[in-house]
């Protein structure tokens, strides 16, 4: 290869990287400068995320914490409640301060902090019991998230709903701030986990080319993506396998005329099967393997008056709109969630009743269903 061709290739790659990064991240240089200054000025940083923290919430929180410690900062991750068991394999997960278990220690940490970073939630109620602790803290506040309509009060808000995950957004921000060099293997492992879990192992909301450039960067930091996948998705228990088998065999309802599948689990059924947090992770995706099923709903009765609503879809079916319109939630077109405070039976009836109004989003019957 001669020097002219090499020069042309370098120019093309540089231009591509610049374009893809600009398209994927909706922040300007003033925000980056402010963020860098706030991090430089901080000594004690508290990082928090939403209740029932998933892979993106835990991954972004731990990923940032590892990076900040590499800078010589004290970084404490505080979650409203405990992460799922399958996420406890992440580096640093054992050091997470769980607010529901240690409220006094969490309150002291927030009061001691000179910077709080809020990750992966768009409104304060999502951090549940931590709200008064954060409100009382005199610390400066940074908010980074990829959900729609952020209302979290902060000195600096960086929101990018186009991003497939907060972990992807976080990496891009640190990269633009000149801090990516401080992302080591542990931090990269956590960030990759969030990117992977929030896209269903890159099966939805994963068409942005910059995702794969970032994956390449993370691989260069020594992550073992196959091991991460195995530990997060394929670490199970007998109880979990029996619960999921029961859910599909006994509780899955199909409504092919609406391209819909519903799986519901009552509080009593969860107790009978020895449910622990994380046991139903990815269950909502399973019905989408069935021909003709375009959207899948999973309902989990966490409390007598609280139903966790999770939805997934394929193609152009907007489950985020369904969750926003009817369940006080949102998310991405193919992956969204919300909540219901009606009974489980009434929530199921509500979904069945509203399904016809979304039939216009179903694909033409003559068009084969595709997950691509």
For residues 211-224, average pLDDT: 97
Phi, psi at 68, each rounded to 5°: -65, -40
For residues 2-7, average pLDDT: 50
Angle at 148 between CA 17 and CA 23, to 5 degrees: 15
- In this prediction, residue 309 carries a pLDDT of 96
Q: Within 10 Å of residue 325's Cβ, how many Cβ atoms? A: 15
Residues forming a β-bridge with 79: 98
- In this prediction, residue 212 carries a pLDDT of 97
Domain definitions of the chain by residue range: 14-232, 239-361
Say whether pLDDT at 367 is over 60.
Answer: no
Q: What is the CATH number of domain 14-232?
A: 3.90.1640.10
Q: What is the mean pLDDT of the chain?
A: 90
- DSSP 8-class letter at 284: G
pLDDT digits (tens, 9 = 90+) for 38-68: 999 999 999 999 998 999 999 999 999 999 9
Q: How far is CA 332 from the centre of its chain?
A: 10
CB distance 62 to 183 below 8 Å: no
- In this prediction, residue 15 carries a pLDDT of 43
* CA–CA separation, 65 and 311 (whole Å): 30
CB distance 137 to 161 below 8 Å: no
- In this prediction, residue 5 carries a pLDDT of 46
Say if strands 115-119 and 140-145 run parallel, antiparallel, or are unpaired. parallel
* CA–CA separation, 163 and 211 (whole Å): 9
CB distance 339 to 331 below 8 Å: no
Say whether pLDDT at 247 is over 90.
Answer: yes
Higher pLDDT, 87 or 148: 87
For residues 205-212, average pLDDT: 93
Residue 49 has, within 13 A of its CA and on its CB side, a CA count of 31
CB distance 190 to 56 below 8 Å: no
- In this prediction, residue 211 carries a pLDDT of 96
Q: What is the CATH number of domain 239-361?
A: 3.10.310.30
Could you identify the residue written with the tokens 């505080």?
78
Say whether pLDDT at 24 is over 70.
Answer: no
CB distance 322 to 277 below 8 Å: no
pLDDT digits (tens, 9 = 90+) for 115-126: 999 999 999 999
End-to-end CA, the chain:
36
- In this prediction, residue 26 carries a pLDDT of 60
Of 8-17, 144-153, 221-230, 331-340, where does mean pLDDT reach its minimum?
A: 8-17
């Amino acid at each position: 290869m001669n020097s002219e061709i090499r020069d042309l290739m370098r120019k093309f790659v540089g231009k591509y990287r610049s374009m893809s990064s600009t398209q994927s991240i909706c922040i300007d240089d003033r925000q980056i400068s402010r963020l860098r200054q706030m991090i430089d000025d901080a000594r004690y940083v508290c990082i928090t995320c939403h209740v029932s923290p998933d892979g993106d919430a835990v991954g972004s929180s731990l990923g940032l914490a590892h990076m900040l410690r590499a800078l010589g900062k004290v970084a404490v991750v505080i979650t409203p409640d405990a992460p799922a068991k399958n996420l406890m394999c992440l580096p640093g997960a054992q050091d997470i301060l769980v607010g529901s278990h240690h409220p006094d220690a969490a309150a002291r940490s927030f009061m001691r902090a000179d910077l709080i970073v809020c990750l992966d939630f768009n409104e304060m109620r999502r951090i549940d019991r931590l709200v008064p602790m954060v409100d009382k803290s005199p610390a400066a506040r940074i908010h980074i998230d990829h959900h729609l309509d952020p209302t979290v009060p902060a000195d600096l808000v960086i929101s990018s709903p186009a991003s497939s995950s907060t972990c992807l957004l976080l990496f891009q921000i640190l990269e633009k701030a000149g801090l990516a060099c401080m992302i080591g293997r542990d931090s990269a492992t956590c960030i990759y986990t969030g990117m992977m879990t929030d896209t269903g192992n890159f099966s939805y909301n994963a068409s942005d080319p910059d995702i794969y450039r970032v994956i390449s960067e993370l691989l260069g930091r020594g992550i073992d993506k196959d091991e991460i996948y195995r530990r997060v998705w394929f670490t199970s228990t007998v109880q979990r396998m029996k619960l999921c088998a029961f859910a599909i065999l006994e509780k899955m309802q199909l409504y092919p005329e609406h391209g819909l599948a519903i799986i519901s689990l009552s509080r009593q059924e969860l107790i009978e099967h020895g449910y622990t947090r994380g046991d139903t992770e990815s269950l909502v995706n399973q019905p989408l393997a069935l021909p003709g099923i375009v959207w899948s709903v999973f309902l989990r009765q966490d409390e007598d008056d609280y139903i966790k609503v999770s939805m997934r879809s394929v193609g152009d079916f907007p489950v985020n709109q369904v969750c926003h319109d009817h369940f006080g939630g949102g998310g991405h077109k193919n992956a969204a969630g919300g909540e219901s405070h009606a009974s489980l039976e009434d929530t199921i009836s509500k979904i069945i009743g509203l399904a016809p109004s979304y039939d216009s989003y179903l694909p033409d019957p003559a068009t084969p269903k595709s997950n691509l």
